[in-house]
Chains A and B, each alone.
Chain A
Amino acid sequence: MGSKSATERALNYLRRAPRVTLTDVRDNPGARTKGRLVRKKDNMAGQQYNDLRGAGKPPLGWIWGDFYKPWQRIYPGATFFNQDINLRREYPPLSLLELQRLIDLGWLDPSLPIDLTALCNTRQYRCDPSLRQFGVQLTDEGASVFAAKVNLEGASVFAAKVNLEVQWASETAIAAVERAGGVVTTAYYDPIALTAAVDPLKWFEKGEPIPRRHSPPADLIGYYTDARHRGYLASPPAVEAARSELALKIGYALPDRTDDAQHDMLAARKDPLQVFFGLAPGWVVNLADQTLLKPKNPRLLHYYSGRLDASKDS
């Protein structure tokens, strides 16, 4: 039966075979192998105090010559290669195709805002702050299919209208989302806030207060204040203007936003200090007792409010 799958052929065989009992099950051939046994020749072979064992060894970068002249000392000018490797930022990519797939298969709910936390909770996307990864980078692969209607469960869900919050987005990706009626915002998360956002359960179990987000560093301020990147620090009128400009530039018609059911969801934005929707920085989430603990001390309130004035008691 060559046209049937292996499973079907195996089950057809089993159907005609006698009942499978406890003694009929065994490992596949080659599943268990005996380890290599230690043989007499595997010991030191009489080399415990060999001349070469005790001798000086060549340094790293040795290129056949003097032990004092490895490559990095012969060519000292080459010390700047990748010198800033530990300072570079990474943004693990998420294509529109992947995003569409996650929505279609039910991993993400498009009727709620989709931010980094929602993506990491699906466990299908991973962002590790300890590896200098700073968040989601939206790429435009799959832009042509992004407006497709979902019809998996028999209900038609518009996957297109999403409220996305990412950390980096290309122009074409922003265009694809906005063309379909959705909203994109780029927002910066500093490493500590990112650690909380990426695994909220682990953070809440630690019992630490929700951190406040700090402003972006100097080289990123320009990116997040720019309306063309839909930065969270850009002014809303500038973002509106950039939206129209992008539609003209690429050449699509902006959909009208008259759907009231989705309007509140699409208008939801986080405060620049906020890490989670519905929760403010400084609060402690007590999962065991299902309560929230809010700070009262004026110094704490001042810190978590993000005000820059010196007086802490106002």
Chain B
Amino acid sequence: MLSRQLLFACRGVQRCCGRPISSPSSVATFRKCYVSSNAGADSPSSTTPEPVFAGRNLWRADTLTSFQEKPQAWLSTLEDKHDRKIGLLDLHPDVFRAPPRLDIVHRNIVWQQNYRNVQFTKTLTRAEMPGGGKKPWPGKRMGRSKAGSIRAPYFRGGGIAHGVRGPRTWFYMLPDALRLKGLCTSLTIKHNQDDLVIVDSFDRLPSPDAQLLHDLADHRNWGYSVLFIDVPDRACENLALACADIPSFNIMPTYGLNCYSMHKYQTLVMTHEALNYLEERILFHLHRADTLQNKFRYKDMKEKLLNEGEGEDDPVHAPFV
């Protein structure tokens, strides 16, 4: 009863609720677009899945203009080293055919590289160095240069004039809108340059053999470095064991997707589930009612940050944060 009352009061007000959720009919259509319709393809059975040629429901992109090319991608499988296409998927143009803003990708990459920097070093000035209060020798008659303090910068062992000063951070948060656009641009570029591969599921890989994965990559013309993206952060066993032996093949969960990784790795291999999840989340945030300009205050995140290693109580190893 409470939730029904509050529905009247704060309809669409909760931070997780945006435009798609405010109207019951549009909720259904939005969510319906991203429920996986390929039950056959994702089931980890040994039988060959049915080919998938039914179009995906793209939220508010069904009627595309004739001026925009419709982005599509093959759905393949890792069962066999020979590339076998089991379907053709329609991709949402807002995510996979976005304007290729390389400058926004640049801003994202620079942000990723710099916002975590913390400088711990500090050099001491002449005032902070020990001693140096007394004039070491008189100014005249000595035949030496004038000196006021043994810790002046021109002295050996003296203070540093314009040195590195104390703990400093280059922390800043890039606005949410730019981060979203960066992801969309990177995905667009990867798809456009044929570096995006969509597979049904990673658990179809038959064995943990690294050589098999190498042959697979050769047959399909993948690049030197491959990034496998799946939704859960627990990888499939065979893929994890195979990638452990190949330094340039790595696995990442969807929440770790970022512009730097997408351009560092030559090929991006994504599961169908990961594709659905990414499209849904990106579109949700692109179209939500709240502003995408948020102030990131330390005090809002402090408790969460300090409790990051809460559940990790190993007697020997420090918590992984």
Residues of A near any B CB (own CB < 8 A): 4-8, 10-11, 14-15, 17, 19-22, 24-28, 31, 105-109, 111-113, 117-118, 121-124, 152-153, 155, 157, 200-201, 204, 276-279, 285, 290-292
Cβ of B25: which chain A residues have Cβ within 8 Å of it?
Answer: 106, 153, 155, 157
Contact A123 B289 (CB under 8 A): yes
- 23 A-B pairs within 8 Å (CB atoms) are namely A15-B193, A20-B263, A25-B103, A25-B109, A26-B102, A27-B103, A105-B19, A107-B19, A107-B23, A109-B23, A112-B8, A117-B9, A117-B11, A118-B11, A121-B10, A152-B60, A153-B26, A201-B14, A276-B8, A277-B8, A278-B4, A279-B5, A279-B9
Contact A200 B13 (CB under 8 A): yes
Q: Which residue of the partner chain B has the closest CB to A201? A: B13
The contact of B192 among A15, A105, A200, A277, by CB within 8 Å, is: A15
| Residue B290 lies at the interface, judged by CB distance under 8 Å to chain A | yes
Given contacts A107-B22, A277-B8, contact A6 B193 (CB under 8 A): no
**Separation of A290 and B3 alpha carbons in the complex (Å):** 8
| Residue B100 lies at the interface, judged by CB distance under 8 Å to chain A | yes
Cβ of A8: which chain B residues have Cβ within 8 Å of it?
Answer: 67-69
Cβ of B98: which chain A residues have Cβ within 8 Å of it?
Answer: 7
Interface residues of B in 84-106 (CB under 8 A from A): 97-100, 102-103, 105-106
Q: Which residue of the partner chain A has the closest CB to B30? A: A106
**Separation of A117 and B7 alpha carbons in the complex (Å):** 11
The contact of B193 among A20, A152, A285, by CB within 8 Å, is: A20
Contact B67 A4 (CB under 8 A): yes
| Residue B20 lies at the interface, judged by CB distance under 8 Å to chain A | yes
| Residue B167 lies at the interface, judged by CB distance under 8 Å to chain A | no
A121-B11, A122-B12, A279-B8 given; name 11 further pairs at CB < 8 Å.
A4-B67, A11-B69, A106-B19, A106-B25, A108-B22, A118-B11, A153-B26, A278-B7, A278-B8, A278-B9, A279-B9
The A interface, classified by DSSP as helix, strand, loop or mixed, is loop
| Residue B188 lies at the interface, judged by CB distance under 8 Å to chain A | yes
B173-190 vs A, CB cutoff 8 Å, 1 = contact: the mask equals 000000000000000110
B1-42 vs A, CB cutoff 8 Å, 1 = contact: the mask equals 011111111111110000110111110010000000000000
Cβ of A26: which chain B residues have Cβ within 8 Å of it?
Answer: 102-103, 106
CB distance from A24 to the nearest CB of B (A): 7
CB distance from B194 to the nearest CB of A (A): 8
Cβ of B11: which chain A residues have Cβ within 8 Å of it?
Answer: 109, 112, 117-118, 121
Contact A14 B9 (CB under 8 A): no
- List 7 A-B pairs, minimum CB-CB distance, nearest first: A278-B5, A277-B8, A276-B9, A25-B106, A106-B26, A109-B23, A121-B12
**Separation of A155 and B11 alpha carbons in the complex (Å):** 22
Cβ of A277: which chain B residues have Cβ within 8 Å of it?
Answer: 5, 8-9
Among B24, B102, B290: residue with most chain A CB under 10 A: B102
Q: Which residue of the partner chain B has the closest CB to A5? A: B67
CB distance from B113 to the nearest CB of A (A): 9
Interface residues of B in 288-318 (CB under 8 A from A): 289-291
**Separation of A117 and B29 alpha carbons in the complex (Å):** 25
| Residue B260 lies at the interface, judged by CB distance under 8 Å to chain A | yes
Cβ of A157: which chain B residues have Cβ within 8 Å of it?
Answer: 25
Contact B6 A285 (CB under 8 A): yes
The B interface, classified by DSSP as helix, strand, loop or mixed, is helix
| Residue B266 lies at the interface, judged by CB distance under 8 Å to chain A | yes
CB distance from A222 to the nearest CB of B (A): 30
| Residue B285 lies at the interface, judged by CB distance under 8 Å to chain A | no
Q: Which residue of the partner chain B has the closest CB to A113? A: B8
B241-264 vs A, CB cutoff 8 Å, 1 = contact: the mask equals 000000000000000000010011
| Residue B214 lies at the interface, judged by CB distance under 8 Å to chain A | no
Q: Which residue of the partner chain A has the closest CB to B106? A: A25
Cβ of A27: which chain B residues have Cβ within 8 Å of it?
Answer: 103, 106-107
The contact of B97 among A7, A19, A25, by CB within 8 Å, is: A7
| Residue B273 lies at the interface, judged by CB distance under 8 Å to chain A | no
Cβ of A290: which chain B residues have Cβ within 8 Å of it?
Answer: 2-3
CB distance from B18 to the nearest CB of A (A): 9
Given contacts A8-B67, A276-B8, contact A20 B2 (CB under 8 A): no
**Separation of A201 and B6 alpha carbons in the complex (Å):** 10
| Residue B195 lies at the interface, judged by CB distance under 8 Å to chain A | yes
Given contacts A11-B97, A22-B260, contact A200 B9 (CB under 8 A): yes
Cβ of B14: which chain A residues have Cβ within 8 Å of it?
Answer: 201
Cβ of A4: which chain B residues have Cβ within 8 Å of it?
Answer: 67
Contact A11 B105 (CB under 8 A): no
Cβ of A106: which chain B residues have Cβ within 8 Å of it?
Answer: 19-20, 22-23, 25-26
Q: Which residue of the partner chain B has the closest CB to A22? A: B263
Contact A25 B105 (CB under 8 A): yes
CB distance from A119 to the nearest CB of B (A): 10
**Separation of A291 and B223 alpha carbons in the complex (Å):** 56
**Separation of A237 and B188 alpha carbons in the complex (Å):** 61
Given contacts A14-B193, A107-B19, contact A19 B266 (CB under 8 A): yes
Contact B9 A153 (CB under 8 A): no
Among A25, A26, A157, A278: residue with most chain B CB under 10 A: A25
Interface residues of B in 42-72 (CB under 8 A from A): 60, 67-69
Cβ of B8: which chain A residues have Cβ within 8 Å of it?
Answer: 112-113, 276-279
Q: Which residue of the partner chain B has the closest CB to A122? A: B289
Cβ of B60: which chain A residues have Cβ within 8 Å of it?
Answer: 152
Q: Which residue of the partner chain B has the closest CB to A114? A: B11
**Separation of A152 and B4 alpha carbons in the complex (Å):** 27
**Separation of A45 and B142 alpha carbons in the complex (Å):** 41
Cβ of B29: which chain A residues have Cβ within 8 Å of it?
Answer: 153
Cβ of B263: which chain A residues have Cβ within 8 Å of it?
Answer: 20-22, 25
Cβ of A124: which chain B residues have Cβ within 8 Å of it?
Answer: 289
The contact of A7 among B5, B99, B260, by CB within 8 Å, is: B99
